[in-house]
Structure 1
Amino acid sequence: MRKIVLSVMMASILVFMFGCGSGEEQASSSNGESDNQSNEQSPEDSENKDQTITFGVTPWTSTVPPTEIAALILEDMGYTVEQTKADVGGVFMGLSRGDLDVFMDSWFPMHQKYMDKFGDKLDDTAVSYPEAKTGWVVPAYMEDINSIEDLKGKEDMFNNKMYGIEKGASATKESNELIKAYGLDIKQVNSSEGGMMAQATRQIKQEKPVLFFGWRPHTMFNKYDLKILSNEKGFFETSSVHVVTNSKLQERAPEAYEFLSNWSISIDDVEEMIVKIENEDMDPKKVAQEWIDNHQDKVNKMMGK
């Protein structure tokens, strides 16, 4: 009888122990699943992360209108948009590293060196507008100066100075190469776009000789009667302005990439908007929205509608 009782007691203990162990294993399995779920991003969270589009913005007036228009359209498409200011070298570096997604104001062939340097990390996505002229500029009242060749022997008219933009710009390097190629007794004086224009404006208002770097689109051609000097050595070829993106944007945000790949705008429209922002002190976003409202058919086409 004792043996029977002992056997029953041992069986009960074993059943109890098996039941506890099984319960702990199930609880552990359940808790593990819960932990894994809490550590994983939901599809919605992942999508929201990929919805942020970051623009690189150079300190050029020509960069602002296209950037603001594209930003407003992308926001309307449901993206979050950020803007990061940097010089052009910093913008291309940011694009290559993935810190930036889009640059709306890349000038070709001037910026081709960055495409060559960073290779397949960048994507030449669209032509914003073709035939943007750049080069050394003088006021139209300087009737005897029409080409770079005309400057030779007359450098002292300009106090042997040519005013340029920031030192890191591709145009600055090309201007220095031009000076060397033509053997000009001229020194390039570099500053910001605003600083350069302040120097030029002072001279123009007094109808004095002045030599500086110019490009379209820019308000300088609306404010003053200017001419871009021709040259026989091929410096400052007519440029086309492109949209450049990080090469991973197409996969990460395909709808945004599709819109940007269809992007185009006229140089006259950009220049008109620059005038409103710079001369009339209008808010850039308001100017951009006005353009969108007046060009809805074009916007729809860029969005693939």
Structure 2
Amino acid sequence: MRFRKIIQLTLFMITLFALAACGSTSESDGSSSTTGETNENEGAITIGQINWPENIAVTNMWKAILEDEGYDVELQLIEMGPQMSAVAEGDLDVAPEVWLPVQDKNYYEQYKDEANFFEEPWYDNGKVGLAVPAFMEDINSIEDLNENKDTFEGEIIGFEPGAGTMLTTEEMMEEYNLDYELVESSEAAMITSVIDAAETQEPIVAPLWKPHYVFSEVDLKFLEDPNQSFGEVEEIFMATREGFDADFEEVSEWLTNFKLDDDQLGELMIDVQDNEDNPMEGAEKWVEENQDLIDGWME
């Protein structure tokens, strides 16, 4: 009886191995088929996205435009540091928002030989710095912060670590010898804190940038920056992985031609913000209303 069970178990194991071998062969055949499908689907483009208002607006805009042209577009939510690394390694096609010459200079220096940074910006009127509510009439310069440390409880309210502006803020704090803590959170949490503080007349200081819808929500002001730690005018560039321009020559030309001014970007951000639960809907609305501008990029 025991011997019969051993024989049965042996036959069962042989059957399992045979099935596994068949499965392996089947998977191998399927892999070849999948590779063929991937080669046929050369329209797949991955674009990095960061949870910033202008970034969400622009990435959804490009998704809407490119999908209208028949491309399969995937937006990958990924913070700035990993995003630039992914572009340099060829794992991500497009990083749409690189602030230069100051905010993202570290990433540019690190990856300039491994990624393609566009020569011309798509937006040329950016501003970055520390901002406080406008009602704080006695706080007008970064140099005023140390003597008012208690007012701000020794905290600068920041957002995601690794963002270029956060790295620049850390450098700025050393340059001005600020005895403050840079509090890490998220862009959404920081903006909520700024709006709440401004509306309730509470002090707050945070690294902010224009373009950003928060400046239309509440009355804020940038602090003077005598050392120009945050630079003066910042420009926003795109970066793509090496070989993207050869794989997607047409799209690469469209991205190169892409330009927005303050009014155009502001309207796009408002349309997307008005459709916060479905940003693509807001982007598609803007695309439909600005087709002549888009046609100019795609000539």
TM category, shorter: 0.7 to 0.9
Larger Rg: 1
2:113 is matched with: 120
Equivalent residues in 2 for 1:165-204 (5 A)?
Answer: 165-204=159-198
2:128 is matched with: 134
TM-superposed deviation, 1:191: 0.3
Equivalent residues in 2 for 1:10-21 (5 A)?
Answer: none
1:228 is matched with: 222
Pairwise CA RMSD: 2.2
Q: Is the 8 A contact 1:101 1:246 kept in 2?
A: yes
CA distance in 2, matches of 1:280, 1:69: 13
Is it true that 1:99 corresponds to 2:91 in the alignment? yes
Letter in 2 for 1:260: L
SS in 1 for 2:62: helix
Q: Which runs of 5+ in 1 are unaligned?
A: 1-38
Equivalent residues in 2 for 1:46-85 (5 A)?
Answer: 48-85=40-77
Percent of aligned pairs with the same amino acid: 29
CA distance in 1, matches of 2:70, 2:173: 49
CA distance in 2, matches of 1:209, 1:286: 36
Give the 3 Å change call, closer, same or farther, for CA 279–227 of structure 1 in structure 2: farther
Letter in 2 for 1:254: E
CA distance in 1, matches of 2:238, 2:88: 14
SS in 2 for 1:234: coil
SS in 2 for 1:120: coil
TM-superposed deviation, 1:221: 0.3
Give the 3 Å change call, closer, same or farther, for CA 76–280 of structure 1 in structure 2: closer
Runs of 4+ in 1 over 6 A off after TM superposition: 39-42
Q: Is the 8 A contact 1:217 1:268 kept in 2?
A: no
Q: TM-score, normalised by structure 1?
A: 0.80
Letter in 1 for 2:72: T
TM-superposed deviation, 1:162: 0.9
Letter in 2 for 1:123: N
CA distance in 2, matches of 1:115, 1:209: 35
**Alpha-carbon deviations, 1:96-147, whole Å to 9, x = none?**
1111111222211222322221233211234221121111000111112121
**Alpha-carbon deviations, 1:24-55, whole Å to 9, x = none?**
xxxxxxxxxxxxxxx7999x957633221110
SS in 2 for 1:83: strand
Equivalent residues in 2 for 1:185-264 (5 A)?
Answer: 185-237=179-231, 238-264=233-259
Q: TM-score, normalised by structure 2?
A: 0.82
Q: Is the 8 A contact 2:104 2:165 kept in 1?
A: no
**Alpha-carbon deviations, 1:222-272, whole Å to 9, x = none?**
100111112111111221111111121011111111111111122333333
* Aligned positions, number: 265
SS in 2 for 1:64: helix
**Alpha-carbon deviations, 1:179-227, whole Å to 9, x = none?**
2211222211110011112222332222021111111121210100111
Deviates more, 1:167-176 or 1:251-260: 167-176
